[in-house]
Amino acid sequence: MNKPFIICLIDDDDIYQFTFTKGLKGNKIAKRILVFSDGEEAIDFMLDNVSNPEALPDVIFLDINMPVMDGWEFLEEFVELKPKVGKEITIYMVSSSVDPADVDRAKAISDVSDYLIKPVGEDQLQKIIAGIES
């Protein structure tokens, strides 16, 4: 992957959306930032753009607990959609939950690269992106 990336945040917390996108903009990590308040909005966007991989995200930061469609439900839909997507998309689960059951469940899903505890700081974000680049 070449920097900068299209980065997607799927999270219903307005304050976290603001701080996360501000951190991305400040570091010029993202060429485009997509923000969705629930998994259904994100899946709809991906379905609308499945034939246009350049519009799809390179990296998704996915919250677990959201209204309408939560992170787990998003992942179920994404697994079905993935064969039609013409690019590699890296997914990180991001949650305030420290419940070992959530951590284990996320790590058991092959499409999830890692489980991150909120808030994800700018330094951590830069390390994540550097790891994707290599």
Q: Tell me the C-alpha distance between 91 and 46, whole Å.
A: 14
Assess whether pLDDT exceeds 60 at residue 2: no
Segment 48-72, tens digit of pLDDT: 999 999 999 999 999 999 999 999 9
Assess whether pLDDT exceeds 80 at residue 129: no
Q: Tell me the C-alpha distance between 102 and 118, whole Å.
A: 14
The domain at 5-133 falls in which architecture? 3-Layer(aba) Sandwich (3.40)
CB contact at 8 A, 35 and 89: no
CB contact at 8 A, 72 and 38: no
The mean pLDDT of the chain is 89
Q: How far is CA 64 from CA 9, 13, 47, 89, 125, in A?
A: 12, 11, 21, 18, 18
For the chain, the structural domain boundaries read: 5-133
pTM: 0.92
